[in-house]
Copies of this chain bind each other. A is one copy, B any other.
Amino acid sequence: MNKAQLLLYCPDKPGIIAQVTNFITVNKGNIVYLDQYVDHVENIFFMRIEWELDQFLIPKEKIDDYFHTLYAQKYEMVYRLYFSDHKPRMAIFVSKLSHCLYDLLSRYTAGEWQVELPLIISNHPDLEPVAQRFGIPYYVFPITAENKAQQEQEEMRLLAENRINFIVLARYMQVISDRMIDAYPNRIINIHHSFLPAFVGAKPYHAAYTRGVKIIGATSHYVTGELDAGPIIEQDVVRITHKDTVEDLISKGKDLEKIVLSRAVHKHIERKCLAYKNRTIIFG
């Protein structure tokens, strides 16, 4: 059954929940999900609400207009309206490491997620055989300092042609330029192979080994203009010991990376992530 999914935030004021839930209920929408949260530091109200459309009196294509006129203006809401029958379209970017890509492809192929996957983009040809195994088109854009701007422009054209909604960087070892980030705000999901903000940048497992930490982690976040500093969606950790070599950390880290990235992608696909400033609201 098709459902509307509404994510919003606005300055906190009395009566918002009552009004929004009343609007849906009196128009015969059956609310099947509601989660809200007030940030009392910033005084911002956040909500995710989902209702069934089969009896809803307002036609699907007019919901946005009505909601905007009746509530969003009044409460200065920033909001997004989705429909459960529209699958978001995902592009995956990879370089040479296959573990995250395999994990994403196996979930996609097994039908675990409500998502379309029209293409994979890479700066290297190495993982094309993996893409072929799963029948996903694979495009190679080698990147050099000289051609980077032009290649990204080609990539963006390809993404637009394929009506891509969001991008997953599955251990893609190239910094994304601001232009592409601006085109997909809070829609590019990266996996960083450390427990951020520890070990920003390259070779975090080597840095973790040198520092002698007892736990390593992985962090999935939305990409912003500042490296490894965007809003965090998901993190997880695993315990290590003095016996673990750098190679052991890399091996244990791979499991973390793929699980953490896939959890973040899943939350994004379910439209349960809302970024505000540099923090995320992850609805339950």
Write out the residue numbers on chain B whose beta carbons fall within 8 Å of the beta carbon of A107: 99
Total count of chain A residues near the partner, CB < 8 A: 64
Contact A197/B211 with A14-B31, A99-B106, A259-B259 known, Cβ cut-off 8 Å: yes
A67 to chain B, nearest CB (A): 16
Confirm or deny: A163 has a beta carbon within 8 angstroms of a beta carbon on chain B: no
Q: A17-B21, A212-B232 are in contact. Are A239 and B241 (CB under 8 A)?
A: no
Residue of B nearest to A281 (CB): B242
Whether the pair B239, A239 counts as a contact (CB closer than 8 A) is: yes
Query: Which among B17, B31, B197, B263 is the interface contact of A213 at CB below 8 angstroms?
Result: B197
- Stretch of A34-42, A58-66, A182-190 with 4 or more beta carbons under 8 angstroms from chain B: A34-42
Are B262 and A37 closer than 8 Å at their CB atoms?
no
| Closest partner residue, chain B, to A39 (CB atom) | B242
Task: Report the copy number of this chain in the oligomer.
Answer: 4
Q: Is the pair A41, B245 in contact by a Cβ cutoff of 8 Å?
A: yes
Q: Does A112 contact B (CB under 8 A)?
A: yes
Q: Are A37 and B112 in contact (CB under 8 A)?
A: no
A214–B235 CB distance below 8 A: yes
If A18-B18, A25-B18, A211-B232 touch, does A242 touch B280 (CB 8 Å cutoff)? yes
Which residues of B sit under 8 angstroms from A18, Cβ to Cβ? Answer: 17-18, 21-22, 25
Determine the chain B residues whose CB is within 8 A of the CB of A215 once the complex forms: 195, 217, 235-237
Closest 5 CB pairs between A and B?
A212-B279, A102-B106, A198-B198, A18-B22, A18-B21
